[in-house]
Amino acid sequence: MQTTTIKIQGMTCGGCVNSVKTVLEKLPGVDQVDVSLDNAEAVIQHDAVQISVEQLKAAISDAGFDVTN
């Protein structure tokens, strides 16, 4: 498993946090997701063979949030 931290802009409430978490948890190869509104980031444990960091970032962008790293 690989742990990836992705900075996210555009989250303003708990609903945003839940949206990001739900989108990421549905992806194949994602094991655990921790999304923090205060830190404006998602920490994701995933299988790098099944899903790339770029795919994780794309899923967050597709959900309507801006990835900043």
pTM score of the predicted model: 0.92
Mean pLDDT over the full length of the chain: 96
CATH number, domain with residue 11: 3.30.70.100
Q: Which pLDDT tens digit goes with each residue over 23-49? A: 999 999 999 999 999 999 999 999 999
Tell me the residue range of the domain where 57 lies: 2-67
- Report the domain count for the chain: 1
Alpha helices in the chain (DSSP H): 14-25, 53-62
Rounded to whole angstroms, how far apart are CA atoms 25 and 52?
Answer: 14
pLDDT recorded at residue 2: 96
